[in-house]
Structure formats: C-alpha cells, structure tokens
Amino acid sequence: MRRLLAAALCAALITGLSACGQEEGTSAEFYAMDTNMSVTAYDGNAQNAVSAVRDELYSLDLRLSRTRIDSAISRLNTGVGLPAEEADISQLITSAIEYSDATAGAFDITVAPLVSAWGFTTDHYQIPKQKELDRLLPHVGSSHILFGGDGTITLDGGTKIDLGGIAKGYASDLCEQILSESGVTSAMASLGGNIYVRGSKPDGSAWRVGVQDPQKPSGFAGVLSLTDAYAVTSGGYQRYFEENGKRYHHILNPATGYPAESGLTSVTVVAPANGDEHGDGPGHGTMCDAFSTALFVMGEEKAVEFWRSGVYDFDLVMVTEDGRVLVTDGLADKFQQEDGSGYAYETVSGNPA
C-alpha cells in the first residue's frame, strides 16, 4: 500500500510577531513556489516592501516553474533555449553550476529528469525502474548546460533543469534587496524553510529561528539566535512517500538517481546576510539553499570537510540518523540546545580533533 505524505515547513521562525508591547509589523502571507511564505517588515516603507516582495516572488515563481508550459525554465527544458534577456535566471543557473562544481556534483540542477521519474514534479509518486534511471543518468551533469557566446543558454538533448533546490534561496536574496531598497532595517522572511532575518527584532533582540526536529517536526532540535542572516534547512522529512514500509524522499543523489541516504536527517546552513553593497543577483540566500541540499547528499564526513575548507562563509547544524546534533563552532554562541529532545549535542571545530 502506498501512502502519500506531505510534510510541514522546515526551519520555523519563533518570532512572537505581535507580542504584547511590541511594535506590530506589516506582513504579507502568500503561497508561491509550492509553499507558504510570509514576510514581515517593521519600519521604513514596510507596506510597499512586503507587497513588492510578494509581487516579485509571484513573478519569479511563474518564470521558474517546471510545470507551466510557458515559463522560462519550460522553454529551456523543451529545447527553445533561454534568451540573453533573462539575465537574472542565467545568473542563477551560473551560480547553480558553481555550487555543483564546489560540491562535486552533490548539488545538481540537471537532476530534473530523475525528480520527474520519482513523481516529485506531479505528486504521482513511484519508484522508477533501474532501467529507467540508467537511461536518464547520462543526461545528468552541469556539462550538459551550454552557454552561447551571445548570452543564450541551451541544454543537451535529454537534459532538463529543476531549480527547486535553489529557487527559494534566490527568492530570499531578492527579499533582502527589496527590503533594503525600501529602507527597512528590521524584518524577517520565511519562505518554506528558507529564513532571512534583517537586522534584529524591533525590541533589539536577535531573531529566534527554530531548527525542526526531523523525527518530530512539531518540535525542535535547537534554536538559533540570529541577526542579519540566512538559515536554510533541507531534510528528507520534508517531502516523501512510503512504499512497502520504506521512505523515499525528494532529495536525490545525482550519482545514483536514488534518494540520498547519507546518515543525515537534516542540514541547516547559516550564512551572514549579503549587506547593502551586494547589489542584485544570487547571494548568500541562494548559497545556503544549494549547500543545504548538497550537504544533505554528501553526509556528515564530507560536509564537515567541505565546511572546514573555508572556501565559503557559512555554518552548519546537522542532525544525524543516530541521534546526534552537530553544530559548527561559528554558531557556538548562537545555538541553544533543546532540553529533553533526546539528542546528543556535539560542537564541530575548524580543525580536525
């Protein structure tokens, strides 16, 4: 018997938005990119900012959608190619390829045909036959994404792209940009588990961002205190189906075509906000989204090694199948353990022990 299970949001924001005596913010709550989103701004031109964010993310959703036949991504996937005018999407694809290279292909937007084969695009879940995966795997890999001299992008035959592992992160970068342009200094955005916090809460304290307990998503494995930061969680518990008592989730190992089984149940990547000099285009929100997916695929050892390499500026909270919560030392004074969670907490230092 097959059971279809949809999961709740991932990293949750514990904000007390209208807590007593606290300035109430201006919020927009909406549904885009297959998830519930909310943005709240507390100062500056808050009203304009939150509606501009909502409009921008609706439009981005339409352009990046794989299921809408006329979207920019559908045109690319059906062989029409992406014209140079879609410069922002082209930049996003360029970032995706960079993160793919950095993670030895653990993050790879060309997993699209595999995602479809498992039914994650349509919610008609199924376990694909090995023969089917063997046919699709040769088309997976960013070398199949071709950049023309005139700025156009095309794909090799059989290759398709899926920006589901990076789109909400990019959306959070756009939030930062729009809030900044609107003079907002205190705000937060929760885009289906991709959290962006701007400044501090109106009362001057840090935002509290819960890291969900993958075993019991109504509870927390810990809470982060953050200001001017992104926090993005990927976990196998967020979207999956069960067949013959086994769970199959939506984060795929691009090397095998199967859901990643790396011993991790969730990865939360935290990075500083881009800051006002950043300008537009993909930034740390996009990076956190790509790396949360990639590091979930890579598993504890490779993820720690990648973090220690120091090439990118981020920190990690990883929850393991065997009941541990690993927190990299950059978060030591920002992470609060959850009493009674049953997890064993470990700090990961920059140098191997």
Residues touching ligand ADP, count (CB under 6 A): 22
Burial class (CB in 10 A: 0-12, 13-18, 19+), 231: buried
Q: How far is the CB of 194 from ligand ADP (least distance, A)?
A: 7
Q: Which of 252, 273, 298, 318 binds ligand ADP (CB under 6 A)?
A: 252
Q: How far is the CB of 93 from Mg ion (least distance, A)?
A: 15
Residue 199 contacts which entry, Mg ion, ligand ADP, none (Cβ below 5-8 A, type-dependent): none
Q: Which of 44, 113, 128, 165 binds ligand ADP (CB under 6 A)?
A: 165
For the residues of 47-114, what is the DSSP string, one character each? HHHHHHHHHHHHHHHHHH-SSSTTSHHHHHHTTS-B-TT-HHHHHHHHHHHHHHHHTTTSS-GGGHHH
Position 287 contacts ligand ADP (CB under 6 A): no
Q: Where are the beta strands (DSSP E) in the chain?
A: 2-6, 12-14, 26-32, 35-41, 145-147, 153-155, 187-191, 194-198, 207-213, 216-226, 229-235, 239-243, 246-249, 264-272, 315-320, 324-328, 335-337, 344-348
Position 293 contacts Mg ion (CB under 5 A): yes
Residue 238 contacts which entry, Mg ion, ligand ADP, none (Cβ below 5-8 A, type-dependent): ligand ADP
Task: Pick the piece of the chain touching ligand ADP (CB under 6 A) from 11-19, 103-111, 200-208, 332-340.
Answer: 103-111
Residue 287, classed as helix, strand or coil, is: helix
Q: How far is the CB of 339 from Mg ion (least distance, A)?
A: 29
Rounded to 10 degrees, the C-alpha dihedral 36/39/40/43 comes to -170
Interface positions, 190-209, toward ligand ADP (CB under 6 A): 192-193
Q: How far is the CB of 107 from ligand ADP (least distance, A)?
A: 4
Interface positions, 289-318, toward ligand ADP (CB under 6 A): 289, 292-293, 297
How far apart are alpha carbons 73 and 76 in whole angstroms?
5
Residue 109 contacts which entry, ligand ADP, Mg ion, none (Cβ below 5-8 A, type-dependent): ligand ADP
Q: How far is the CB of 233 from ligand ADP (least distance, A)?
A: 7
Residue 182 or 292 with smaller CB distance to Mg ion:
292
Looking at residue 171, its amino acid is A
How far apart are alpha carbons 218 and 120 in whole angstroms?
23
Q: How far is the CB of 120 from ligand ADP (least distance, A)?
A: 5
Residues in the chain: 353
CA distances in angstroms from 73 to 60, 138, 227, listed in the order given: 11, 21, 34
Position 234 contacts ligand ADP (CB under 6 A): yes
Residue 289 or 315 with smaller CB distance to ligand ADP:
289
Task: Pick the piece of the chain touching ligand ADP (CB under 6 A) from 36-44, 45-53, 87-95, 102-110.
Answer: 102-110
